[in-house]
Amino acid sequence: MKQLLQRVERLNQIGIALSAEKDASSLLEMILHGAKELTNADGGTLYTVTADQRLKFDIIATDSLHLAMGGARGKAITFNPIPLYDKQGKPITNMVVTSAVHQRKVININDTYHAEAQGYDFSGTRKFDEQTGYHTHSLLTIPMTNHEDEIIGVLQLINAKDADTQKLRPFSTTDQQLAESLASQAAVALTNQRLISDLEILFKSFVQLIATAIDEKSPYTGSHCRRIPVLTMMLAEAVHRSREGSFADFQMTDADRFELETAAWLHDCGKVTSPEYVIDKSTKLETIFDRIELIDTRFEVLKRDTEIQYWQTLNKAKSRNEKESLLQQLEQQINELNSERDFLRKANIGGEFMSKNDRERVKKIGQRLWRNPDQQIVPILNAEEIYNLTIPKGTLTPEERTIINNHMVATIKMLESLPFPKHLARVPEYAGGHHERMDGGGYPKGLVRDEMSIPARIMAIADVFEALTARDRPYKRGKTLTECLKIMQQMVLENHLDADLFNEFVRSGVYMEYAKQYLQADQIDEVDENQLAVSVSTDENLAMH
């Protein structure tokens, strides 16, 4: 009775451990080794039922043969799964393990060498014994059933041993009852883990579906949401491996990684609220179409009117010198109109910087008069066109940039409205902070460095680098590595990006690892890393804090 109570207590301990185990391979090991311990079995195998109705070997262990395969620590299993049905679709019942599934019952065999009358095929067992010198004596096979009464696996134990003499013996009724109880608890643990895993897969797929939909919304950012998670996790792993400076205590668990990667996938989810005409604005005058074409037409009208005036005046000219002078004036006027038209075409293309002189020239050209289709004499550019053509950087007006920036407000609002479980609670903070600056000049909350977590600052680095290297933006070309890193270095010096993270980004070679996978060959130039390191003094650190 004392031994039985001890075994029951051990069963409870194993059951509690099973419910707490999160790793699938470790769980399988725990189930098999726990069953072997409770029954004092020499060996055993744990099978799981596959979607195509076969029994897959998940873990095999035999103490006397020092055999350990599968699970978290064993060698890889090379055995083919055992089919439950033949080619005609009939149940295979001549094997103990398959019969236990089809009959939905526990099979307890005292001696496999005297069990032919039960109709089981032990040829495979005999062959194994001949090859290894093993003697398969007793066999206990237990189907494992989930909460929906479906068999999800089979636990098979081999060769029970006497606790005192270690001689082989049959599995007793107590052995069977304890093993059945453990198998029942194991089935619950396996089912829960599968449900959690399935939900996690569904959640990840849904998150990636949202990100893909955002990328598909605009042909100019077709890979942004898919590349940010890659780059974010590359840098996060580099920081995790670092044991220096401010990152000495930064460590990530698998749960932390999942949380950060989820945030990276969702970092731009608020863009579902951003109008396409703003996201896709490839030139300064683009709305539904590029209005530079309308301005081209106005210049053509001006040139036509100039030529008409020339011919009308030419008819009144009397001398040859007068006619030649008129022709020179015409050519000069046409060249001037062509020059102004070409300049406006160039101004319409967004760039890194538009000088004050160029902006003044746009305004001056805009004062030129022309006759519109209503026969009214009006300026060739209206106020709204001048406003757009004088955008100093990029293609967006301040109002349009506010619309774009509001995607972060929408992102945070959307994510904070979701009932994230505890292990994903920081997703809104991580995803919502990649446009903040170290000096508090970012958006939407104006956070400073001390108010931002390391993962949020990592995402800021990833977002900037991906944007600089991307070749699919409507307003710029994809820059070389040196160009990108020089720009980022300047952003660090301006307290826009985190200096320590930028240094780690360069020192660890993450930028090159990413470049080899995602950039074109002409973008990957030779980078002088020594010229990129940013030293942050104590005073600067304090300022950043």
What is the model's pLDDT at position 155? 95
Sign of the C-alpha dihedral computed for residues 18, 19, 20 and 24 taken in this order = positive
Residues 231 and 337 in one domain: no
Separation of CA 488 from chain center: 23
* Domain total of the chain: 3
Residues 533 and 427 grouped into a single domain? yes
Q: Are residues 10 and 125 in the same domain?
A: yes
Using alpha carbons, select from 395, 435, 392 the residue that is nearest to residue 412: 435
CATH assignment of the domain containing 470: 1.10.3210.10
Both 355 and 411 in one domain: the answer is no
* 3-state SS, residue 55: strand
CATH code for the domain in which residue 99 is found: 3.30.450.40
- Residue length, the chain? 545
Q: What is the pLDDT along the chain (545 residues), one digit of tens a residue?
A: 777 777 778 877 887 888 777 777 888 888 889 989 999 999 999 999 999 999 999 999 999 999 999 987 788 898 999 999 999 999 999 999 999 999 999 999 998 888 665 778 888 888 889 988 999 999 999 999 988 889 999 999 999 999 889 899 999 999 999 999 998 888 888 888 888 888 889 999 999 888 888 777 765 555 788 899 999 999 999 999 987 777 888 999 999 999 999 999 999 888 877 777 787 788 889 887 889 999 999 999 999 999 998 898 888 887 888 888 989 999 999 999 999 999 999 999 987 789 999 999 999 999 999 999 899 999 999 999 999 999 998 888 999 888 877 888 888 899 999 999 999 999 999 999 899 999 999 988 999 999 999 999 999 999 999 989 987 555 556 789 999 999 999 999 999 999 999 999 999 999 999 999 999 999 999 999 988 988 764 344 433 33
| Residue 419: cis peptide before it, omega within 30 degrees of 0 | no
- Rounded Cα–Cα distance for residues 155 and 100 (Å): 10
Q: Is residue 364 part of a domain?
A: yes
Residue at 203 is within a domain: no
* 192/233 same-domain check: no
The first and second tokens of residue 417, run together, are: 């409205």
Q: What are the DSSP calls for 216-236, one per residue? A: HH-TTSTTHHHHHHHHHHHHH
Rounded CA separation 261/312 (Å): 72
Q: Are 428 and 379 contained in the same domain?
A: no
Domain assignment present for residue 298? The answer is yes
Residue 517 is part of which domain span? 218-278+405-544
* Domain identity same for 231 and 307: no
Query: Do 263 and 373 fall within a single domain?
Result: no
Assess whether 373 and 452 both reside in one domain: no
**367 and 409 part of one domain:** no
Domain final residue, candidates 196, 231, 250: 196
* Sign of the torsion angle spanned by Cα atoms 8, 12, 14, 15: positive
Signed CA dihedral, 392, 397, 398, 402: sign only: negative
Residues 222 and 189 in one domain: no
- Residue 54 one-letter amino acid: R
Query: Do 421 and 384 have their domain in common?
Result: no
Domain boundary among 395, 426, 452: 395
What torsion, rounded to 10 degrees, do the Cα atoms 346, 350, 351, 353 define? 90
Cα–chain center distance at 349: 33
- The answer to whether residue 206 sits within a structural domain is no
